[in-house]
Structure 1
Amino acid sequence: MATAKQQVDERAALTEMPLPADSTPSVALDGPPVPPVGRIRLYSPDEWEEFIREWATAMEENYVQIKLLGGAGDRGTDIVGFKTDRQFEGPWDCFQAKHYDKPLNFSAAAAEMIKVFVAVLDGVYSLPRTYRFLAPRGLSTHFNMMISNPTTLRENFLALLVKGEAPSVKALARPLLEEVKALAAETDFAMFRSVEVLDALTTHSRTRWHTARFATALPERGDSKTPPEEYAPEEARYLQQLLAVYAERAPDKITTLDSVANVPKLDKHLQQQRVRFFRAESLKAYSVGAVPPGTFEKLQGDIHAGVIDIAQDDHPDGYTRLGQVLTQVGSLDLNRHKLIGVTEIDDRKGVCHQLANDDRLTWMEEP
């Protein structure tokens, strides 16, 4: 079993935070809904960091990578956005998560700012382009005014170092304190900024985690992709399976996909299945921006579980097996899935063809 020290060291390690699988907080069943501003005030510090990690993905910045580093030994960095693959050796931004039960004041913020200057002097990283504080209750009025005036902020910070009474200043050895003063004196304090809570929520609303976090309605889905006239490479396997079904039904007329046109009824059926497949592909693409990772795959998994027994039953032919599966999928209870509100019957049937495309469903019995 890992010791407490090992666990702390592992927490502090410079590792990339995996994308949150499903950050849906519990929702009260009774009483009025809790608005997002109120909900984030109930977060734990770790949940607040996760929220900021999600928020950073929607910023209008082309980050090569976003990492969560918060924890003991993070050297004043909670969440960082790297502009290049040089990471700390190139331009980067820092997002500092401070989850307190009151507005963030200058004293608490200054302690974090000192960590930054010390880390730079220790060669841990270069100064960030921007260092932004995010607190669920915002900043105190005094600190908000100060951070809005970079020159004033620097003057107050230097005065804090000279006075030397703050615990974060007392902890510095005299030579290091003088180095921090010198570095701070030549630094443009416009790098230190704050993010207003309402602005953070507006930006977060553009992420795939927002609906799950705050129980809001899914964004509008828009139109589904229309099947191209030419068969696309990504259709190959499910079309191959359909061709086998059609060839079994009309062996004297159908040997290739192009020959399906010789049987109007089957040709119409083929075009209908292509529309369904591309509807499901559009739903999958939509899910990337609307719901947490894995949500669409969970829907696929439950559809597979709901129809596999029908697919594996005995049927007189492949066409009947396919028809029974497509009928069954329309009757499945999928109401627990977040995507169901924007999912129609043809989307469900299209998912069956996605599963066939991956050979998780087959329409013809093995010889």
Structure 2
Amino acid sequence: MSEKKFTSNFEVTNGANIVPLKRIEIFSPEEWELFTKEYLEVLQDDYVEIERIGGANDNGRDVIAYIEPSTVKGYKWDCFQCKHYDHSLHPSDVYVEIGKILYYTFKKDYPIPQNYFFVAPKGCGTSLSKLLTDKILLKQKVKDNWIQSCEKKITKHLDVKLEGSFLDYFENFDFRIFKKTNIKDILDKHKKHPNHIIRFGGGLPSRPKLDEASIDQIKANELVYVEQLFLSYGDESKIKYENINDLKSNLSYQNHFNRTRINFHYAEQLRNFYRDSLPINTFQDFQDEIYHGIIDTVEDTHENAFKKIKASEQLASTLQLSSNPLTTVSIVNDRKGICHQLVNDKKIIWKDDTK
């Protein structure tokens, strides 16, 4: 049996989305570097740190992926050179980039990278792809084109001539480090980054319905708001409630308690299910909107704490929220549940038990 899911507002209000493979073609060069950095941030098992340099003073390095900390002498690293062109890369597009790596590693400005990847929206063309599989041919082509493509373009301060000790370095350099990347593979891995939906749209993934039958024993992360519920019921009835069995004497409280636990777990599910699909603090921002929407009501004078709960839950259910992406996938249960998350986090209270 297929899993039941909520239908998001996005799915029924938006038309066809531009596929990521096409959208990256209209990125700015800066966006392309940031996108590449995000892709590398997903590869947490491969690298200890990711750094974007870019700009005119990058010395041939757009995005650095450290295999070892940069504090280690002769640290290991991979270089990702971002080339955002309207065509697949030609050999003439990259000769100067190869020249920069040769020159600046010769000067010992930084260690030779373990791998040097060209990252471009349309990938590497046939000619460049062929060169990158043949280190001898690649070396010869760079050498043949050095004067035209590299000598005056590596640095503004001097001509970098391929002669003397630098020529010896060139001849002994391992050109196998230069490689192409698979853009489809990069896009697929980027899906795991919190910024993927922000960059490419497509809406949030459908959210599974909560299995309410699985909500059994009160968990440790529910104790604060549960205690506040008991105090609030007691504030109205003038009867002391200490555990769930005590509520059996009042069907109204028992039903509210059961609904509240369901709502709390819905709110927890909302927090956890979209955690990896959205930028950090997105849920926190949503929770804050609920807080600011109900706090005046919470601080108002009420006949008793239970009536305060009911008024706050009702208001949270009807708040007009539109700025947060979670509004398209949230339901009334979430909003009511967030009220009790706020109690759990001790940002609001229903009943001050010290009075």
TM-score (norm 1): 0.78
1:154 aligns with 2:139: yes
Structure 1 match to 2:195: 209
Distance change in 2, residues 1:252/1:295 (3 Å): closer
Distance change in 2, residues 1:353/1:155 (3 Å): farther
Distance change in 2, residues 1:364/1:276 (3 Å): same
CA drift at 1:142: 1.5
**Which structure would you say has the larger Rg?**
2
Structure 1 match to 2:277: 290
2:96 and 2:149 in contact (8 A); partners too? no
CA drift at 1:87: 5.8
**What aligned pairs does 1:228-247 form with structure 2 within 5 A after superposition?**
229=217, 231-232=219-220, 234-247=221-234
2:152 and 2:159 in contact (8 A); partners too? no
Distance in 2, Cα, partners of 1:361 & 1:261? 26
Q: What amino acid does structure 2 have at the position aligned with 1:307?
A: I
Structure 1 match to 2:268: 281
Structure 2 match to 1:186: 172
1:199 aligns with 2:185: yes
1:128 aligns with 2:113: yes
CA drift at 1:216: 0.7
Structure 2 match to 1:114: 99
Distance in 2, Cα, partners of 1:164 & 1:349? 64
1:364 aligns with 2:351: yes
1:138 and 1:196 in contact (8 A); partners too? yes
CA drift at 1:322: 0.9
1:253 and 1:263 in contact (8 A); partners too? no
2:95 and 2:150 in contact (8 A); partners too? no
CA drift at 1:224: 5.5
Distance change in 2, residues 1:146/1:228 (3 Å): farther
Distance in 1, Cα, partners of 2:303 & 2:15? 55
Q: What amino acid does structure 1 have at the position aligned with 2:118?
A: F
CA drift at 1:261: 2.0
Q: Which consecutive residues of structure 2, in runs of 5 or more, have no partner in the other structure?
A: 1-12
1:103 and 1:140 in contact (8 A); partners too? yes
Distance in 2, Cα, partners of 1:177 & 1:39? 44
2:266 and 2:337 in contact (8 A); partners too? yes
CA drift at 1:235: 3.6
2:80 and 2:116 in contact (8 A); partners too? yes
Distance change in 2, residues 1:158/1:86 (3 Å): same
Distance in 2, Cα, partners of 1:64 & 1:105? 32
Distance change in 2, residues 1:364/1:291 (3 Å): same
- Match of 2:268, SS state, is helix
Distance in 2, Cα, partners of 1:286 & 1:104? 39
Structure 1 match to 2:40: 56
CA drift at 1:271: 4.3
CA drift at 1:290: 0.6
Distance in 2, Cα, partners of 1:126 & 1:76? 12
1:211 and 1:217 in contact (8 A); partners too? yes
2:135 and 2:176 in contact (8 A); partners too? yes
2:95 and 2:149 in contact (8 A); partners too? no
Q: CA RMSD in A?
A: 3.2
Distance in 1, Cα, partners of 2:327 & 2:86? 37
Structure 2 match to 1:328: 315
Distance in 2, Cα, partners of 1:340 & 1:285? 15
CA drift at 1:327: 1.8
Aligned length: 334
Distance in 2, Cα, partners of 1:165 & 1:158? 9
CA drift at 1:50: 1.3
**What aligned pairs does 1:23-38 form with structure 2 within 5 A after superposition?**
33-38=17-22
Distance in 2, Cα, partners of 1:74 & 1:65? 17
Distance in 2, Cα, partners of 1:108 & 1:166? 15
1:75 and 1:115 in contact (8 A); partners too? yes
Distance in 2, Cα, partners of 1:112 & 1:210? 29
1:260 aligns with 2:244: yes
Once the two structures are superposed, what CA deviation does each residue of 1:335-363 show, in whole Å capped at 9, x if it has no partner?
44322333222222222222222333321
